[in-house]
Amino acid sequence: MLGMMMDQPLLISSLIEHAARFHGDTEIVSRETDRSLFRYTYADASARAKRIAKALQRLGTAPGDRVGTLAWNSHRHFELYYGISGTGRVLHTINPRLFPDQLRYIINHAADQILFIEPSFVGLVEKLVPDLPTVRHYVIMAPKALMPATSLPNALCYEDLIEAETPELEWPRFDEQSASSLCYTSGTTGNPKGALYSHRSTVLHAFGSCAADMLGVGAADCVLPVVPMFHVNAWGIPYSCPLAGAKLVLPGQHLDGESLCTLFDQEGVTFSLGVPTIWLGALKYADETGKGFSSIKRVIIGGSAAPPSMIEAFDKKHGVRAVHAWGMTEMSPLGTAACLKARHAAASPEAITRVLCSQGRPSFLVDLKITDEAGERLPHDGVAVGNLYVRGPWVVRGYYNDPDASAEAFDAEGWFKTGDVCSIDPDGYVRITDRSKDVIKSGGEWISSIDLENAAVGHPDVAEAAVIGLAHPRWDERPLLIIVPKEGRTIDKPAIMSFLADKVAKWWLPDDIAVVEQLPHTATGKLLKTKLRQDFADYKLPTA
Ligand code: ADP
């Protein structure tokens, strides 16, 4: 017997429609390249999204066609999120920090028909044009007066396209399983792989992410996503804020500590999200000036492991709850978030810190398991460490047009292999110890590079740290700690060693410390350990 409820497809257009109807005067603030602030409302954004949707039809695109964007977190980018996907076209957000070869690869692999480009990326795209046979139109996301001189063929002006249309449009109704957007993983080896999200997965993810123990976004919030809209949809914020009716502040291209903190205070931001490197800059500015966190209540830290010293600094110095979260492009991206349970009311401060420093518990609809090398399940006892697998309605079931990568990504039961290594405790809290390819295997046991790095950045002289395993004749591999000192500080190696001594097991202590000026990062701000391993391939450990 079937239930008797309305059969209404979960479509992305319903999010902006809801915001325009019931939060029509709630503001969206967008910082322009010249740092001026542009302000309008959900009702305005909805009308302009409809106009751009009509412009896309006029430019000859059909449902299912891919339309690319190279853009910052800006109001025009927000309009494209709905203008492109709302009528069944597929929004392909492109990470401009990828290497030119990767950009060529993904634009051709996606077969983008139109590229929307913010002026600061025009030079980048001009160099690629000869190799982009599928692209028929280049649209520059600027008003007429600010159109840059460009060699892009027949460059169109975004505001001209908007001007030419009226906002009368009923968003079409179609299958909720239709593709809505496409995002490529930056991939440290091999070609980038495309995660192709659906309307259904995106709406469910938006719903899930608003839950109190995930992002907990509500209509009283003012949200500033520092995480880019060109990488995993800014962790879904452009969808969850309209769902919740939250004010949205889009920071554009200036993401240094001062620029962010100024905007936080000016706009009364209550909630923000970013990777650890972004928070390093903001915390430094706030420490020096006492500004930046006057209205913020919560921040989300994810994308790489948040060092406990950072979570503590937010709490102790600024009264901000830092929520550590974990996810992946392939998971839309949210998987877990570190919020407390009722029982923690009676827990010791140390126990609470330990919970808050974990990657957190899974969201409803995200299922997790860990396995040993043979694929056998390991217990969720907080001790066993194994390969992490996930499944759920916002997890990919394959990669876009990539049968080889798809074949390798799942186990026989259809679970997605994350490539992360972790423990899961009986309460569901995940503790990621490594990427599987970064695990350091010493004498048959594993050393967590993340734990060592977290301990090292707790030292006041250390700005950033990376740990890699180097070949060792006796132990197979031993850890080398590579440190970037804080400005004006010098690294006293014995002092660092004794600082680490009571924070990790004795046999985990690095065999040596190297000091460098900077560490290599991927296009999404993660430590590029493949490059570090190459750079240090000939390094001789004193113990070897
Ligand atoms: P990329 O394009 O760089 O692959 P993803 O966002 O998909 O971008 O990267 C996902 C990976 O980032 C995860 O598999 C994990 O290794 C790492 N990661 C994300 N959040 C955390 C976290 N809170 N702690 C540790 N690692 C994290």
**pLDDT, tens digit, 9 for 90 and up, residues 50-106:** 999 999 999 999 999 999 999 999 999 999 999 999 999 999 999 999 989 999 999
Probe target for ligand 1 pocket from 326, 356, 451, with the most ligand atoms within 8 Å of CB: 326
Residue 458 CA to ligand 1 center (angstroms) comes to 21
The total of other beta-carbon atoms located within 10 Å of residue 168's CB is 9
Residue 108 CA to ligand 1 center (angstroms) comes to 25
Q: Whose CA is nearest to atom 13 of ligand 1?
A: 328
- Determine the atom of ligand 1 nearest the C-alpha atom of 301: 23
Cα gap 426→230, rounded to integer Å: 36
Q: Which domains does the chain have, with CATH numbers?
A: 13-254 (3.40.50.12780), 365-435 (2.30.38.10), 441-535 (3.30.300.30)
Cα gap 544→537, rounded to integer Å: 14
Residue 197 in 3-state DSSP?
strand
Q: Provide the strand spans (E) within 87-162.
A: 90-93, 114-117, 137-140, 156-157
HSE-CB of 320 using CA atoms within 13 angstroms:
29
Residue 8 in 3-state DSSP?
coil
Q: How large is the greatest C-alpha to C-alpha distance in the chain, in angstroms?
A: 73
Cα gap 198→95, rounded to integer Å: 20
Probe target for ligand 1 pocket from 103, 420, 436, 530, with the most ligand atoms within 8 Å of CB: 420
Alpha-carbon dihedral 139, 140, 145, 150, rounded to 10 degrees: -100
The total of other beta-carbon atoms located within 10 Å of residue 453's CB is 22
Residue 303 CA to ligand 1 center (angstroms) comes to 4
Residue 329 CA to ligand 1 center (angstroms) comes to 8
Cα gap 91→65, rounded to integer Å: 9
Q: Whose CA is nearest to atom 11 of ligand 1?
A: 328
Q: What is the pLDDT of residue 186?
A: 79
Closest to 100 (Cα-Cα) out of 67, 138, 130, 65: 130
Contact predicate 268/295, CB 8 Å: yes
Residue 327 CA to ligand 1 center (angstroms) comes to 6
- Determine the atom of ligand 1 nearest the C-alpha atom of 359: 23
Per-residue pLDDT of the chain (544 residues; tens, 9 = 90+): 999 999 999 999 999 999 999 999 999 999 999 999 999 999 999 999 999 999 999 999 999 999 999 999 999 999 999 999 999 999 999 999 998 999 999 999 999 999 999 999 999 999 999 999 999 999 999 999 999 999 999 999 999 999 999 999 999 999 999 999 999 997 667 789 999 999 999 999 999 999 999 999 999 999 999 999 999 999 999 999 999 999 999 999 999 999 999 999 999 999 999 999 999 999 999 999 999 999 999 999 999 999 999 999 999 999 999 999 999 999 999 999 999 999 999 999 999 999 999 999 999 999 999 999 999 999 999 999 999 999 999 999 999 999 999 999 999 999 999 999 999 999 999 999 999 999 999 988 889 999 999 999 999 999 999 999 999 999 999 999 999 999 999 999 999 999 999 999 899 999 999 999 999 998 888 899 999 999 999 999 998 8
Does pTM top 0.85 for this prediction? yes
Tell how strand 298-301 and strand 321-327 pair up.
Answer: parallel
Cα gap 508→286, rounded to integer Å: 34
Q: Whose CA is nearest to atom 9 of ligand 1?
A: 328
Q: What is the pLDDT of residue 188?
A: 67
Q: Which residues are catalytic?
A: 185, 330, 441, 446
Q: What is the pLDDT of residue 416?
A: 98
Question: Within 6 Å (CB) of ligand 1, which residues are found?
Answer: 185-186, 232, 302-305, 324-326, 328-329, 333, 359, 418-420, 432, 435, 522, 524, 526
Q: What is the pLDDT of residue 380?
A: 98
Q: Whose CA is nearest to atom 27 of ligand 1?
A: 304
For residue 347, the one-letter residue type is A
Angle (CA) 174 175 177, round 5° = 140
Residue 343 CA to ligand 1 center (angstroms) comes to 29
- Determine the atom of ligand 1 nearest the C-alpha atom of 184: 2
